[in-house]
Chains A and B, each alone.
Chain A
Amino acid sequence: MLFNSSPFLFVFLPVVLLGFAVCVRWTTTTVTMLFLIGASLFFYGWWDWRYLFLLLSSMVFNYLWARLLESIASGPSARRRMTLGIGVAVNLGLLAYFKYANFLVDTVNAVTGSGWRIEHIVLPLAISFFTFEQITYLVDAYRGQVSAHGVLSYAVFMTFFPRLIAGPIVRPQQMLPQLAGARPFVFDTDGVAEGLFIFAVGLFKKVVIADTIAAYVGPVFDRASTVTFPDGWGAVVAFALQVYFDFSGYSDMAIGLARMLNIRLPENFDSPYQARDISTFWRRWHITLSTFLRDYLYIPLGGNRRGRARRAINVCVTMLLGGLWHGAQWTFVAWGGLHGVFLLVNERWRRRNTPLPGALAWLLTFIAVVASYAVFRAPSFERAGAMLGGMLGVHGFAAYAIGLHEWKRMLPALGIALCCPNRRQIMQWQWPGPWLYALSFALLAGWSILRLGDPAPFFYFQF
């Protein structure tokens, strides 16, 4: 079920809010938790109920494994490390099977010339996201950072529908404490109003901005071999806007939904295209993934504590794996690698202590990020190469696909991404009056509802 679909907006969400209010008002915390778990499983099962078993099995295993890790907390560290390693390996194995098995076989065949064949494996929705959350749960349990909680709290944390499909990636300590206490759930109309506003901003970003601009991207990438300079740059800028408004819109919707249920989720975006260097970009883009990669991969690899050479390797490994996380495709790995190189160049430049003027720094960062999308979006290196060639003017300078009409639609979106305060900042405004706030909500939500047609899936659902 998509957040931008009529069944979700006009049936599922009102029913869940009503049910939640009833549970909070007239029942116990246990019943409320069971209600939320049931709603979340229904939400996930709407896509394909068979994969519910996968999700539930993963949950059972990880819950028990975390208890095992806690029970041997005072035991020998080698044993604890091995127990954690097995737990992480099981999770990664699950991800490897469903997400990377076809990719691995294809790669081995391409390298060795062998002809191995396996059946095409369907990627279960949200597997990348919930696997990473399970890993954080195990690692944090190993580190003793998970507060005491019951099985229902854990189940709510893992299945919580606002963020189940595409994040934000939430750590146990960010959510489990909110589920603790005698009466953790409150139906707060203040929270519902705030959540609705945040949700409306996200819905607007997705339905009105991202889906409109998305139409300009595909046709250019499909004809990459003949793409011209303005069409090539137009398409990557359009894609940059599409993916930002799509994914940050989804994240806003998730945060807003959670807020309606009185749960606070971490922010996932912070005006990333306004960044003036690439490391700032990564601190503002898909923040929960970046911090996951930093805390659970880069720092355990040694981070910057073992010299420059080792740091460079750690950065590249982290970014390559970050790229691979996006999908079983070498272009994603290359995109990650490209950003690894950008980060190293940025670090080197910073050490020279000769900062660039702000506008130039921003422009260089933006161009690097946008150009790298040619590799990210293209289905193959051949297509990515053709796209980059076109962006260098190999096929001329005439605009065919992305002209004045398209730029007229893209420029306001670009303006919003580059110059406007983001949703978090807007929420901190002192609004001059309650009616203006209500009217702004009505315009955002109303215009989005008027644009609801056949709901387009979110870009990050494929990951």
Chain B
Amino acid sequence: MHRQLLRMLVCLLAFLALVAVINLVVNPYGAWPVRLVDTTFQKVEVGMERMETPYRVRTEQPTTVLLGTSRVLYGMWIDQGYRADVLNAALPGQSLDEAVALIDLALRNPRLRRIIWSVELIQFTEQMRGFRDAPTQTRLLGDTLLRVRETLLSADALQASGGLLLRRTAGRSSLPAERTLPIPWPPATLRAAFDEIETAPNGGGDSTGLDQHIRLWLKDYGHSRLAEGQWDLFTRTIDRIRAAGIDLTLLAPPLNAFELETIRQGGQWPAFQAWKARLATVSPYWDFSGYHELALRDELFTFPIFCHFKPAVGHALLRRLLEGSCDDCGTTEQLIADAGVWVDSNTVQAHLEDLDAARLRVTRERPRSVQAVERIVDPATARHDIQEAKGTTGGTVPHR
């Protein structure tokens, strides 16, 4: 009667082996160096990035790696995670420690030429120290057992394999056009995307969702306390990238006026400026965050989640960073290119003064963003520069 037990165990092992083999061959998450199914048909599902990216950064051999938070992940969206030699290794809420771990893995790739790294004030604060969650840390540090469980012996992986095989069977012609575009998108695609945005602006989203996000960002910025250790980690990493001969492009990403207002009315504008000043002492960078035309064009952001810019903006920005010139740019692309300022330790003071001047100019006009945040910010904790925005303090620049 051992036979029945044996039959059951054999069937179980065969079933699990079959699933593992399917997932390995189809490789839906790009977690294994297997290329039997065209990777063009791969698709990173929203919410799966923290699982897939730490594996993909090990197996792909990109020449360019993008790093940053969800702004970069969704703003410079690449459906397959990796396409046309560019790997989007940004993660939702990516901490500095996570970015550093990803960089360490990316530097093992002999084909790597360039890292485009979007950094943010909040990543240098106490609350963003370390890894955001234990599984991501385990994946980044390398755990074969977890990789097997998540990418081979997993029902989700099997479902993803099925989806990938279906797309492969349907063929390239059934893929949406943007899934095969070069990275960054070419000018004609960008122009068409911006035209579409102009004709169907999203109108700023519903007020409940907007208020929720304002509260969220007020809380996040309000509790931020810069951590000295993060600066050390950052500086050491920059040195390591340079030592490896990799071209590093650092940037402060575009922020919508609503977010800038949560910083300003939350009393963190001086800290934001000080952070930018210190950043310039470590490395020159592109600064896209300020009260410029781009920040005020709500239709270019995914309201009510105003922290995310739309993929067309992200790819226009990528073109600015990768190709420099903007000869064949359309109007909106030109506007995005103009929003970026190259900042180094020599020019940073003048740049910060320009940013302050722009801030005063815009806030005195009291656009929608100023009023919306004022309505929510707690008067007891609101800082003096709210008064400044109302024009009662004569516009002195605080803390500089």
A192 touching B5 by the CB < 8 A rule? yes
Q: Which of A193, A197, A443 touches B15 (beta carbons < 8 Å)? A: A443
**B84 CB contacts on chain A under 8 angstroms:** none
Q: Is B11 an interface residue (CB 8 A)?
A: yes
Q: Which of B4, B149, B158 touches A438 (beta carbons < 8 Å)? A: B4
Bound Cα distance A72, B121 (Å): 78
B155 touching A450 by the CB < 8 A rule? yes
**B16 CB contacts on chain A under 8 angstroms:** 446, 449-450
Bound Cα distance A142, B323 (Å): 90
B19 touching A445 by the CB < 8 A rule? no
Q: Is A451 an interface residue (CB 8 A)?
A: yes
Residue-by-residue, is A1-25 near B (CB-CB < 8 Å gives 1, otherwise 0)?
0000010000000000000000000
A450 touching B3 by the CB < 8 A rule? no
**B14 CB contacts on chain A under 8 angstroms:** 442
Q: How far is the CB of A18 from chain B (nearest CB, A)?
A: 14
A446 touching B19 by the CB < 8 A rule? yes
Chain A interface residue number, banded? 20 to 34
With both beta carbons as reference points, the residue of chain B lying nearest to A194 in the complex is identified as: B4
Secondary structure of the B contact surface, majority rule? helix
**A197 CB contacts on chain B under 8 angstroms:** 8
Q: How far is the CB of A206 from chain B (nearest CB, A)?
A: 14
**A435 CB contacts on chain B under 8 angstroms:** 7, 11
Instruction: Using A441-B12, A442-B12, A443-B15 as known contacts, say yes or no to A450 and B154 having CB atoms under 8 A apart.
Output: yes
B7 touching A438 by the CB < 8 A rule? yes
A190 touching B4 by the CB < 8 A rule? yes
With both beta carbons as reference points, the residue of chain A lying nearest to B1 in the complex is identified as: A190
**B399 CB contacts on chain A under 8 angstroms:** none
B153 touching A193 by the CB < 8 A rule? no
**A190 CB contacts on chain B under 8 angstroms:** 1, 4-5
Q: Which of B4, B15, B149 touches A442 (beta carbons < 8 Å)? A: B15
Q: Tell me which residues from 1 to 38 in chain B have a Cβ below 8 Å from any Cβ of chain A.
A: 1-5, 7-8, 10-12, 14-16, 19
Taking each of A437, A442, A445, A450, which has the highest tally of chain B beta carbons within 10 Å of its own beta carbon? A450
Secondary structure of the A contact surface, majority rule? helix
Bound Cα distance A70, B310 (Å): 80
Instruction: Using A190-B4, A192-B5, A196-B5 as known contacts, say yes or no to A450 and B11 having CB atoms under 8 A apart.
Output: no
Q: Is A439 an interface residue (CB 8 A)?
A: yes
With both beta carbons as reference points, the residue of chain B lying nearest to A192 in the complex is identified as: B5
Q: Is A355 an interface residue (CB 8 A)?
A: no
**B153 CB contacts on chain A under 8 angstroms:** 449-450
Q: Is A109 an interface residue (CB 8 A)?
A: no
Residue-by-residue, is A261-295 near B (CB-CB < 8 Å gives 1, otherwise 0)?
00000000000000000000000000000000000
**B158 CB contacts on chain A under 8 angstroms:** 450
Instruction: Using A449-B153, A450-B155 as known contacts, say yes or no to A438 and B8 having CB atoms under 8 A apart.
Output: yes
**A196 CB contacts on chain B under 8 angstroms:** 5, 8
Bound Cα distance A107, B239 (Å): 63
**A450 CB contacts on chain B under 8 angstroms:** 16, 19, 153-155, 158
B4 touching A437 by the CB < 8 A rule? yes
**B19 CB contacts on chain A under 8 angstroms:** 446, 450
Bound Cα distance A443, B149 (Å): 17
Q: Which of A6, A189, A443, A452 touches B4 (beta carbons < 8 Å)? A: A189
Q: Is A434 an interface residue (CB 8 A)?
A: yes
Q: How far is the CB of A5 from chain B (nearest CB, A)?
A: 12
Bound Cα distance A113, B153 (Å): 57
B155 touching A441 by the CB < 8 A rule? no
B11 touching A451 by the CB < 8 A rule? no
Q: Is A407 an interface residue (CB 8 A)?
A: no
**A189 CB contacts on chain B under 8 angstroms:** 1-2, 4-5
Q: Is A447 an interface residue (CB 8 A)?
A: yes
Bound Cα distance A68, B7 (Å): 51
B4 touching A434 by the CB < 8 A rule? yes
Taking each of A192, A442, A447, which has the highest tally of chain B beta carbons within 10 Å of its own beta carbon? A442
Instruction: Using A189-B1, A189-B2, A192-B5 as known contacts, say yes or no to A446 and B15 having CB atoms under 8 A apart.
Output: yes
B4 touching A193 by the CB < 8 A rule? yes
Bound Cα distance A194, B163 (Å): 36
Residue-by-residue, is A446-463 near B (CB-CB < 8 Å gives 1, otherwise 0)?
110111100000000000
**A6 CB contacts on chain B under 8 angstroms:** 149
B12 touching A434 by the CB < 8 A rule? no
Q: How far is the CB of A339 from chain B (nearest CB, A)?
A: 37
Bound Cα distance A443, B16 (Å): 9
**A193 CB contacts on chain B under 8 angstroms:** 1, 4-5, 8
Bound Cα distance A333, B83 (Å): 60
**A438 CB contacts on chain B under 8 angstroms:** 4, 7-8, 10-11
With both beta carbons as reference points, the residue of chain A lying nearest to B11 in the complex is identified as: A442
Q: How far is the CB of B96 from chain A (nearest CB, A)?
A: 26
A451 touching B15 by the CB < 8 A rule? no
With both beta carbons as reference points, the residue of chain A lying nearest to B157 in the complex is identified as: A450
Q: Which of B4, B7, B155 touches A447 (beta carbons < 8 Å)? A: B155
With both beta carbons as reference points, the residue of chain B lying nearest to A447 in the complex is identified as: B155
Bound Cα distance A445, B16 (Å): 10
B4 touching A446 by the CB < 8 A rule? no
Residue-by-residue, is B141-177 near A (CB-CB < 8 Å gives 1, otherwise 0)?
0000000010001110010000000000000000000
Residue-by-residue, is A423-438 near B (CB-CB < 8 Å gives 1, otherwise 0)?
0000000000011011
Residues of A within 8 A of B (CB): 6, 189-190, 192-193, 196-197, 434-435, 437-439, 441-443, 445-447, 449-452
Q: Other than the known A193-B4, A447-B155, what 20 A-B pairs have Cβ atoms closer than 8 Å?
A: A6-B149, A189-B1, A189-B2, A189-B4, A190-B1, A190-B4, A193-B5, A196-B5, A434-B7, A435-B7, A438-B4, A438-B10, A442-B11, A442-B12, A442-B14, A445-B12, A446-B12, A446-B15, A450-B154, A450-B155
Residues of B within 8 A of A (CB): 1-5, 7-8, 10-12, 14-16, 19, 149, 153-155, 158
Task: List 19 interface pairs A-B (beta carbons < 8 Å), by A numbering.
Answer: A189-B4, A193-B8, A434-B3, A434-B4, A434-B7, A435-B11, A437-B7, A438-B7, A438-B8, A438-B11, A441-B12, A442-B11, A445-B12, A446-B15, A449-B153, A450-B16, A450-B154, A450-B155, A451-B155
Q: Which 9 A-B pairs have the closest CB atoms?
A: A442-B11, A446-B15, A450-B155, A438-B7, A193-B5, A442-B12, A438-B11, A442-B15, A438-B8
